[in-house]
Amino acid sequence: MAQAHRTPGPRAVSGQPFVFKLVLLGSGSVGKSSLALQYVKNDFKSILPTVGCAFFTKVVNVGASSLKFEIWDTAGQEKYHSVCHLYFRGTNAALLVYDVTRKDSFHKAQQWLKDLEKEVHLGDVVVMLVGNKTDLSEEREVTFEEGKEFAESQSLLFMETSAKLNHQVSEVFSAVAQELLQREVREAQAPQGDAAMVLNEGPTWQAKCCAH
Ligand SMILES: Nc1nc2c(ncn2[C@@H]2O[C@H](COP(=O)(O)OP(=O)(O)OP(=O)(O)O)[C@@H](O)[C@H]2O)c(=O)[nH]1
Tell me the CA–centroid distance for residue 59 and ligand 1, in Å: 24
* pLDDT above 50 (res 44): yes
Q: Is residue 124 part of a domain?
A: yes
- Average pLDDT of the chain is 83
pLDDT at 207: 28
Per-residue pLDDT tens digits for 118-153: 889 999 999 999 999 999 999 999 999 999 999 999
The pTM of this model reads: 0.84
Q: Is 53 in the pocket of ligand 1 (CB under 6 A)?
A: no
**By residue range, what is the domain housing residue 126?**
17-199
Candidates 34, 40, 106: which one to mutate for ligand 1, based on the most atoms within 8 Å of Cβ? 34
Domain count, the chain: 1
Q: Is residue 45 part of a domain?
A: yes
Quick one: what percent of the chain has pLDDT higher than 70?
A: 81
Beta bridge partners of 92: none
Residue nearest to atom 2 of ligand 1 (CA): 133
Q: Is residue 208 part of a domain?
A: no
Q: Is 47 in the pocket of ligand 1 (CB under 6 A)?
A: yes
Q: Which helix (H) or strand (E) holds 126?
A: strand 126-132
More confident residue, 2 or 102: 102
Q: Is residue 1 part of a domain?
A: no
The region of weakest confidence among 132-136, 183-187, 195-199 is 195-199
Look up the ipTM and state it: 0.99
Residue 91: name the closest of 153, 19, 170, 32 by CA: 19
Residue 35's pLDDT band (boundaries 50, 70, 90)?
Answer: very high
Task: Report how far residue 76's alpha carbon sits from residue 84's, in angstroms, rounded to the nearest whole number.
Answer: 8
